[in-house]
Every structure is written in structure tokens, then in C-alpha cells.
């Protein structure tokens, strides 16, 4: 008799992200104060962003433009009619005691973005993640928990209103994400898109991009969602992934042991690599939203929409597909090259100047990127322009110089620019591809090493490498390696 093992329940996670993203306008959303990061506390403030009585907000038109462009890039429908609302809550960093946000008529809805995961074998899997909505709002200030008063012993906090009124878009995804890896990739793709548009710098360390995760777990096949938990306080993509993986395990364990899962907000603790409970979650009815009476509703004209649409660049996903399908690059190479718009455009200029895409990709992803990382530079800051790199690649491909020589002169080109061709001519580095000239050198090398020649001929054929090395040494690396082998081998063998 056999006893069937108990069937282990399979679970799936249902994950959605709410991302707050600071728009990179020079001034705040409803006043002319600067949005610059790092100013002394309370320097970038005025009666409007301090919420003084009797002042009126005026919408910064750049904020609307950036929000609409982000909505278009996320394949969303732009609202013909939209408005601002007051979200009421009390917090010391919120001088008006309400935040101007958008509630039931956001500027954009029903979009999607495509994430791409590449496995170890280099095969890409693509998936669309729905975007529920994108809306504009103002940021709150910042509390600095300063410590305790020496005399009274009571603790106190300071508030910095520089950030109050800085423009944000909040982008809410559909619960289409199933793993920590997908969530991290979604956040990265979102950041890439916003950076391509130049509407945000997406700097997580400075708080320009902040992600909150909603996550629940349910048995596979179950229609109904499990109890949703929100996680905050992740300031890197890897933290998003790790926090979700930890939370999935925690919720599955709770379900298995019959422990209740509470609807709450949890914080990711980087130090202990776990989530901890922070508070129970408010519903939207707690905020008492109502239409903002001081701002006119928004209507984007078809002509305006058309103009903004025409200004959108080619986006990262389109670039990835084109690099794979038209330039024949691997999914991996296409991802690396398109991560930053400036690097992708540099690469494209190299290819447009007739360099082979594969060679161009190898140079840009290899030596050029290594140099940029080491020197902390952007590609636009180096002296080697795209045409110069194309010229260098052309010189390797037509046999004028070896790859080795190209790498030797690269540092000089990177820092001083100029023509690769002129540089190798002035340094006398042109490859020796003349058969007669090379034969003469090879004969000299063989004549100078009788002992090695004898060993070679008695079967130690590995010494071929020694002779090639001698030829390279004699020519300062300028001998055409292929031709050298072609001439050298028969001479060694036949004597
Ligand atoms: Zn202000």
C-alpha cells in the first residue's frame, strides 16, 4: 500500500508599485522657489509653499508638460479634462495641513511599460506591466529628528520646508508583478524612461525616485487577493527586490502556520534585511479629498498634445528591440547599451559612421565604459568623439593596425581626442602587412634562436608562440598577427 504525500500548496505573490518621482523643473509646482537639492534648510521657501493665508498657487506649466510626456511614454491615455484636489492630513512637514494632489481625474490613466528579463543563457523574456494612473502632486517638507534638549531632556525635531512644493508625479502600477526581480526591473525601466525624457534624474539616493510596494500572497489558482501589505523605505533597486522576497516568505509562512496577516505598512530595514511593522494603513476616505478651489481645471488641447508627443525621443524598449532586430546585437548587449540615453546615442553615432555594430558595441561596452566608470564621467565629456571611435574601428577592420595597438593608443584618444589615423602615423604604429618585409624579420628571428628552432623541430611545437612573441617584440607589436603565423609556421616546419 502506498500513502500519497500531502500536496504542498503553491503560492503566488501579487505585487503593485507606487512610485513617487521628482520632476526636474527649475522651480516648484505652484511658486517660483528653486527646487535645487542641498540648499541650507528653509532657504528655498516663500509664502505660497509655506501655506500662508491669502496666497494663491499658480501651476508651473513645465510640470504639466513633463507629466503629460511621462504619461505618453508610458502608453497612457492623457485626460482631456483633469483637476487638482486637496488631500487633507496633519503632519508637521505639511504647512497647509493638506497636500495638493489629484484624486479622481488624474492627468493620465491606462498605460503600460514593458520589462525585459534576460536569463543566464542570454534569452530575454518580456512582459507588460499595466500602469493604472499617473498624477501630479506637491511634495511635503522634511523632518530632521535632531535629538534631545540638554536642559529639559525632551526630544525635538526640526523641519526643513525646502522640499515643500517640489513637483512630483505618482505612478501607480497594476498588480501585474509576481516577483522581487520583476519589481526591481519595473522600477529600473520606469527610471530609464523618465531619464530618457529628461523629466527626472531618478536619483534614488537623493529621494528623486521613491517606491512603495503593495504585496499579497495567495494560493495558485485562487481568484481572490490575499491581505495586502505595503512596504516603504527602500532606496535602491536591490532593496526593492530583497524586501519583496523577504515579505513573500514571511506571508507564506504566516499562511502556512495560520497566523493572521494584518493590512499594514511595513518598513524595510536594510541593516537586518527584514520588514518591520510601522502602522496600520489609512483608507482614502480618511483623507477627505475635495476639489482644489484655487486652481483651474486642466484641459490639454489636441494641438499641445500633438506637439509634446512629437518631442518624445526613441524610448529604451524600442531601442532594445531595434538593436536586436536591425543591428543583430544580443539581448544582453542591447540592454547594456540602452541603459543610458547618452551612451546609446554615442553608440548609434559610431554605427552611423560605418563601424560594424558588433565592434562598436564591444568598444563602447568594454574599454569606453570602463574608462567612464573609472573617471566618473559621462560619455559627452570625453575627448574621443563617436566619429573618432568609428575611425579607430575602421583602422582595425582594414588591417592598418592590430586590436592590440588600438588599445594602446586608446588612452591618448580618450583624453586628447583627434584623429586615430594621424596618431598612429605620427607614432609609426601602422601594422606591417607587407609579406616581404615581414618575411625578412621572421628570418632574422629564426636565425637568432637556433636552440628553440631545434626543440621545435624535435616536436616541441608549442614554441610557435615563442617565435610569434619574438616577431612582435622586434616590431613593437606592429606585425600583422595572421600574416605572421602564415609565414612563420611553414618556415619552422620545413626549414
Ligand atoms: Zn515657494
What mean pLDDT is predicted for residues 185-192?
A: 97
- Distance from residue 86's CA to the centre of ligand 1 (Å): 18
Q: How confident is the model at residue 5 (pLDDT cuts 50, 70, 90)?
A: low
Looking at residue 417, its pLDDT comes to 87
Centre of ligand 1 from the C-alpha of residue 142, in Å: 15
Q: How far is the CA of 79 from the centre of ligand 1 (A)?
A: 28
Query: For position 214, what pLDDT does the model report?
Result: 96
Q: 202 in helix, strand or coil? A: coil
pLDDT at residue 281 tops 70: no
CA of 61 to the centre of ligand 1 (A): 15
The average confidence (pLDDT) of the chain is 91
pLDDT given for residue 279 in this prediction = 73
Q: What mean pLDDT do residues 86-105 have?
A: 93
Domain 435-494 CATH assignment equals 1.10.10.10: no
Q: Quick one: average pLDDT of 74-99?
A: 94
| Residue 77, pLDDT above cutoff 90 | yes
Ligand 1 mean position, distance from CA 45 (Å): 4
**Model pLDDT for residues 386-423, shown as the tens digit of each residue:** 999 999 999 998 878 888 889 888 999 999 888 888 88
Residue 206's pLDDT is 86
| Per-residue confidence (pLDDT) for residue 108, from 0 to 100 | 98
Stretch 96-108: mean pLDDT: 96
Q: Which of 133, 115, 129, 140 is nearest to 29 (CA)?
A: 140
CA of 67 to the centre of ligand 1 (A): 20
The residue that leads in pLDDT, 135 or 492, is 135
What pLDDT shows up at residue 110? 98
Ligand 1 centroid to Cα of residue 80, in Å, is 29
Contact 29, 60 (CB under 8 A): yes
Taking 80 as the threshold, does the pLDDT of residue 428 lie above it? no
Q: What is the mean pLDDT of residues 196-221?
A: 94
Ligand 1 centre to CA of 125 (Å) is 46
Note the pLDDT of residue 72.
Answer: 98
Burial of 232 (0-12, 13-18, 19+ CB in 10 A): middle
The torsion region of residue 288 among left (phi > 0), alpha (psi -120 to 50) and beta comes to: left
pLDDT tens digit string along 330-350?
999 999 999 999 999 999 999
Buried b (16+ CB within 10 A) or exposed e, 30-69: bbebebeeeeeeeebbeebbbbeeebebebbebbbbbbbb
- Residue 26 CA, ligand 1 centroid: distance in Å: 12
Residues ≥6 apart with Cβ < 8 Å to 462: none
Paired residues of 134 in beta bridges: 108, 171
Expressed in angstroms and rounded, the spacing between residue 305 Cα and the centre of ligand 1 is 28
What's the angle, vertex CA 233, arms to CA 95 and CA 342, rounded to 5?
95
- Ligand 1 center from residue 96 Cα (angstroms): 13
Whole-model pTM: value is: 0.86
pLDDT at residue 283, rounded to an integer: 62
**Ligand 1 center to residue 161 CA distance, Å?**
9
pLDDT over threshold 80, residue 203:
yes
Element containing residue 307 per DSSP (H, E): helix 302-310
What are the beta bridge partners of residue 34? 27
Q: Which tens digits make up the pLDDT trace of 368-378?
A: 999 999 999 99
CA of 208 to the centre of ligand 1 (A): 19
The pLDDT tens digits for 448-460 are: 999 999 999 988 8
Domain ranges of the chain: 11-147+154-304, 314-426, 435-494
Give 7-64 pLDDT, tens digit per residue: 677 999 999 999 999 999 999 999 999 999 889 999 999 999 999 999 999 999 999 9
Amino acid at each position: 500500500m502506498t500513502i500519497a504525500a500531502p500536496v504542498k500548496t503553491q503560492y503566488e505573490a501579487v505585487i503593485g508599485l507606487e512610485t513617487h518621482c521628482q520632476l526636474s523643473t527649475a522651480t516648484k509646482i505652484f511658486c517660483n522657489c528653486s527646487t535645487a537639492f542641498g540648499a541650507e534648510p528653509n532657504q528655498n521657501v516663500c509664502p505660497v509653499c509655506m501655506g500662508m493665508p491669502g496666497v494663491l498657487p499658480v501651476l508651473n506649466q513645465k510640470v504639466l508638460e513633463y507629466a503629460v510626456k511621462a504619461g505618453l511614454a508610458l502608453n497612457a491615455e492623457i485626460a482631456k479634462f483633469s483637476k487638482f484636489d486637496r488631500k487633507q492630513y496633519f503632519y508637521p512637514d505639511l504647512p497647509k495641513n493638506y497636500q495638493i494632489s489629484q484624486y479622481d481625474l488624474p492627468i493620465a490613466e491606462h498605460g503600460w511599460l514593458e520589462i525585459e528579463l534576460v536569463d543566464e543563457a542570454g534569452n530575454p523574456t518580456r512582459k507588460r506591466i499595466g500602469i493604472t494612473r499617473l498624477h501630479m502632486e506637491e511634495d511635503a517638507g522634511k523632518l530632521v529628528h535632531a535629538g534631545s534638549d540638554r536642559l529639559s531632556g525632551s526630544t525635538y525635531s526640526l523641519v526643513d520646508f525646502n522640499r515643500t512644493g517640489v513637483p512630483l508625479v505618482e505612478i501607480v502600477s497594476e498588480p501585474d508583478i509576481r516577483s522581487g526581480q520583476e519589481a526591481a526591473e519595473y522600477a529600473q525601466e520606469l527610471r530609464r524612461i523618465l531619464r530618457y525624457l529628461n523629466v527626472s534624474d531618478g536619483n534614488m539616493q537623493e529621494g528623486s525616485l521613491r517606491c512603495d510596494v503593495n504585496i499579497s500572497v495567495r494560493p495558485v489558482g485562487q481568484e481572490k487577493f490575499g491581505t495586502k501589505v505595503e512596504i516603504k523605505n527602500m532606496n535602491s533597486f536591490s532593496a526593492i527586490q530583497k524586501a519583496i522576497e523577504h515579505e513573500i516568505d514571511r506571508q507564506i509562512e504566516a499562511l502556512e502556520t495560520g497566523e493572521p496577516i494584518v493590512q499594514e505598512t511595513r518598513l524595510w530595514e536594510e541593516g537586518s534585511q527584514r520588514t518591520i511593522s510601522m502602522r496600520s494603513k489609512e483608507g482614502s476616505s480618511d483623507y477627505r479629498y475635495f476639489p482644489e478651489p484655487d486652481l483651474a481645471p486642466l484641459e490639454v488641447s489636441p494641438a499641445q498634445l500633438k506637439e509634446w508627443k512629437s518631442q518624445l525621443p526613441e524610448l529604451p524598449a524600442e531601442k532594445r528591440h531595434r538593436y536586436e532586430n536591425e543591428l543583430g546585437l544580443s539581448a544582453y548587449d542591447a540592454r547594456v547599451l540602452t541603459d543610458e540615453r547618452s551612451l546609446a546615442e554615442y553608440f548609434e553615432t559610431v554605427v552611423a559612421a560605418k563601424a560594424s555594430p558588433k565592434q562598436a558595441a564591444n568598444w563602447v561596452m568594454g574599454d569606453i565604459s570602463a574608462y567612464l566608470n573609472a573617471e566618473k564621467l559621462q560619455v559627452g565629456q570625453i575627448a574621443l568623439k563617436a566619429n573618432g571611435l568609428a575611425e579607430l574601428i575602421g583602422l582595425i577592420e582594414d588591417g592598418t593596425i592590430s586590436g592590440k595597438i588600438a588599445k594602446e593608443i586608446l588612452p591618448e584618444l580618450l583624453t586628447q581626442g583627434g584623429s586615430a589615423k594621424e596618431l598612429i602615423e605620427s607614432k609609426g604604429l601602422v601594422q606591417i602587412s607587407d609579406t616581404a618585409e615581414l618575411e625578412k624579420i621572421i628570418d632574422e628571428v629564426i636565425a637568432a634562436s637556433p636552440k628553440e628552432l631545434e626543440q621545435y623541430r624535435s616536436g616541441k611545437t608549442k614554441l610557435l608562440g615563442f617565435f610569434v612573441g619574438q616577431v612582435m617584440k622586434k616590431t613593437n607589436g606592429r606585425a600583422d598577427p595572421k600574416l605572421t603565423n602564415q609565414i612563420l609556421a611553414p618556415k619552422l616546419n620545413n626549414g
